[in-house]
Amino acid sequence: MTILDVRPSPIAGTWYEGNPQRLAASVDGYLDRAELPELPGEVIAVIAPHAGHRYSGAVAGYAFAAVRGRTFDLVAVISPMHQSYYEPLLTTAHPAYSTPLGEIPVDKDALAVLDAALKASLGYGLTPVERDREHSLEIELPFLQRALASEFKILPVMVREQSPRVSENLGLALAKVLHGRNALLVASTDLSHFYTQETAKRLDEEMLKQVEFFSPEGVFRSEREDKGYACGLGALAAVLWAARELGADTVKVLHHATSGDVTGDFSSVVGYAAAAVLRTKA
């Protein structure tokens, strides 16, 4: 594969601020306003929504405030793939992502190790794509750029196939790659889509109950039984499996809201939540 140029942002200026100064101020504001509970332990992973910052930025601020000021060498960002690709697991073909706040290099060595681990367990690995338009991974990057205290590389994975088998194998493979490294996991997911506020809160409560139970199996069961929904189901479950394998033992939901809380239209809303996955025992 030839070296390609940096992945340009297809959503800067629409899904979030395109001006670097205004973007930094906006993200810092979301981080500043997050009121976190006490987090007993080390944050291994965070769960964050991925709508436009106007809609879900206030909720995402809670997730990234949980790691504000921390330093990581590597951040694995696991998101769904909303675009029309057919491959089950995808990544970028570019050497770096670009946002108005600068470029973030991709850890190609970590990607190669993850790809090999997936091929060994699933029979296939990661499909690299050029100039994808997927928003759900990129939307988290400005938060990481403002929250973390040092430069870092990313390991980007976009999940197309929403199945327990793929998610569990991805989670276990991620744990192998990240074991012993100074790394953070990020799961990108929104919750229920286009229900009334009342129904969305009920559905989201059930999904978040399974998240707080630290049950990737329960997350899938909740959606299978139509009790709760997550559009990044595969990514969410994979991060829970990976974090559990890395020694995490507690999940704390930090905040929940809906698009209706921003727009005032409660007839058809999207649910958002932020959570931290913690290792509380040495």
Q: Which parts of the chain have pLDDT scores under 50?
A: 1-3
- Of all residues in the chain, what percent carry a pLDDT higher than 70? 98
How far is it, in rounded angstroms, from Cα 202 to Cα 88?
A: 30
What is the model's pLDDT at position 84?
83
What is the model's pLDDT at position 126?
98
- Kindly state whether residue 37 falls inside one of the protein's structural domains: no
Q: How open is the CA angle 135-194-224, to the nearest 5 degrees?
A: 85
How far is it, in rounded angstroms, from Cα 103 to Cα 96?
A: 6
- Kindly state whether residue 204 falls inside one of the protein's structural domains: yes
How far is it, in rounded angstroms, from Cα 131 to Cα 118?
A: 23
Q: How many domains does the chain have?
A: 1
By the 8 A CB rule, do 9 and 142 touch? no
- Kindly state whether residue 17 falls inside one of the protein's structural domains: no
- Kindly state whether residue 34 falls inside one of the protein's structural domains: no
How far is it, in rounded angstroms, from Cα 180 to Cα 176?
A: 9
- Kindly state whether residue 20 falls inside one of the protein's structural domains: no
The residues pairing with 155 across neighbouring beta strands, listed in sequence order, are 76
How far is it, in rounded angstroms, from Cα 266 to Cα 65?
A: 27
Q: Residue 200 is which amino acid?
A: A
What residues make up the domain containing 106? 44-279
- Kindly state whether residue 70 falls inside one of the protein's structural domains: yes
What is the model's pLDDT at position 98?
96
What is the model's pLDDT at position 3?
47
- Kindly state whether residue 31 falls inside one of the protein's structural domains: no
What is the average pLDDT value for the chain, to the nearest integer? 96
Buried/exposed code over 78-88 (b: 16+ C-beta within 10 A; e: otherwise): bbbbbeeeeeb
Could you tell me the sign of the dihedral formed by the alpha carbons of 64, 187, 4, 118, in that order? positive
What is the model's pLDDT at position 78?
98
- Kindly state whether residue 30 falls inside one of the protein's structural domains: no
Structure tokens belonging to residue 123? 């029979």
What CATH number corresponds to the domain at position 176?
3.40.830.10
